[in-house]
Amino acid sequence: MLEGDHGGPGAVLELVKRLRCEIKLPRSMADYFQDVDAVGAIVEDKRRFARRTLHSLGALEHRPTFAALPRTVEWHKIYTKDVSRGGLAFLHSCQLFPLERMRMLLPDPAFQAVLPPTCQCVVEVARCQRLAPNCFEIGATFVERLAS
């Protein structure tokens, strides 16, 4: 569905918006997209790269990574939480496991500081925490930035 050249990040964002969303945010996050354009630094962080809050939309392609964990290759809508040069945190409706690798599309122009203009990358899951039924917060590292 999201394969091939679609005319840049704006066109990809429109395709991402059309994906069915199965994420059920907990009540405490009901206003998650209230400040959609707000991008701020996370000051108290002691990580290698500074993170920035970035609540936006993206798409994640499930791929089979482990033989013991079958996954159907399909696209899912995700909500991004924050980003750094090394990775990002996002919300997803499915549980993912450390070391799983997935392809991701991040069409928001704010991601262009860490990704090429095509907005595509491969991420490796570092952690996954259940926040609510159908809502998992996932931390992932950028493994590969895809040119097209």
pLDDT in tens, 110-119: 787 777 666 8
pLDDT of residue 39: 47
pTM, full prediction: 0.83
Rounded average pLDDT over 34-63 = 70
Least confident of 6-10, 18-22, 57-61, 101-105: 6-10
Domains, the chain: 9-146 (2.40.10.220)
Short-list 71, 73, 102, CA closest to 88: 102
Short-list 114, 105, 55, CA closest to 79: 55
